[in-house]
Amino acid sequence: MKAQLSELLTNYGPIQCIWFDGEWCIKDKGFDWKFDDIYGHIHSIQPGCLVVNNHHHATRAGEDVQTFEKDLPGENKNGLSGQVVVRTQPLETCDTMGYMWGYTIKEAGKWKSRDELLRLLVGAAGKGANLLLNIGPRPDGCLPEEAVERLEAMGDWLTRYGAAIYGTEAGPDRMDGRFATTRKGDEVYLFVFDGTAKTAVLKLDGKPKRIAGYLDGKEASFIGAPDGATVVTLPDSTEGIRVLRIEL
């Protein structure tokens, strides 16, 4: 493996990341993978190369990013990512556009919808995590039409709302599955997944100066609760995900 890594890290210019897909091929839990030696080898050739290992455990020395398979950090709804979240490291969620890794003809009718994928993207951003979204090419190398359609739809959404995702950090309130928040400087962005929700209760680190729709700028009313939380009256919207801008 070290010879292959040396080839990758010396013949192809700067490599941003080496991503190991866990330890599935050997069931012996006592097997010594010599990760210390492997990670040290990678960083000795390209110190800036990030090392990620999808092994479903707490990160080890030499690993630069903690990844969670098919789950947002800390949720473990699918039973693969029960490890403790390490807040001192960059976080990542790796997930599929359908329900299996790689292309399979059995995927027909099982693709995640645009809104499901957007909730995954926003949810990851709300937890301060990157989203690694898998695409499985067909045997001829082409991308499935279903994948292309969803990527284009997500791209259209990001054209309008991307500033609330790109360059942000986890919001001040991780909230529940109906909402998410991200933050950039003195602005917090509230994402509402629940189309029936009339209010949102936020724990902000400061009193809002203004809360308004992200695109139309229409102001939303809000009041302070006795416990210091902010209760926002949510405007109606035809969008699958409502987005509000909060100025602190």
- Torsion sign, CA atoms 172, 174, 177, 180: positive
Write down the pLDDT at residue 54.
93
- How far is Cα 148 from Cα 72, in angstroms, rounded to an integer? 23
Q: What pLDDT digit, counting tens, does each position of 15-51 carry?
A: 999 999 988 777 777 888 899 999 999 999 999 999 9
- Indicate the average pLDDT of the chain: 91
Q: What whole-number distance in Å separates Cα of residue 130 and Cα of residue 56?
A: 17
Least confident window among 142-146, 160-164, 182-186: 142-146
- 182, 174 Cβ separation under 8 angstroms: no
Summarize pLDDT for 97-132 with one digit per residue, the tens.
987 888 877 766 688 999 999 999 999 999 999 999
Q: Residue 92 and residue 141: Cα distance in Å, rounded?
A: 26
Q: What is the pLDDT of residue 154?
A: 97
pLDDT interval class at 78 (50, 70, 90): confident
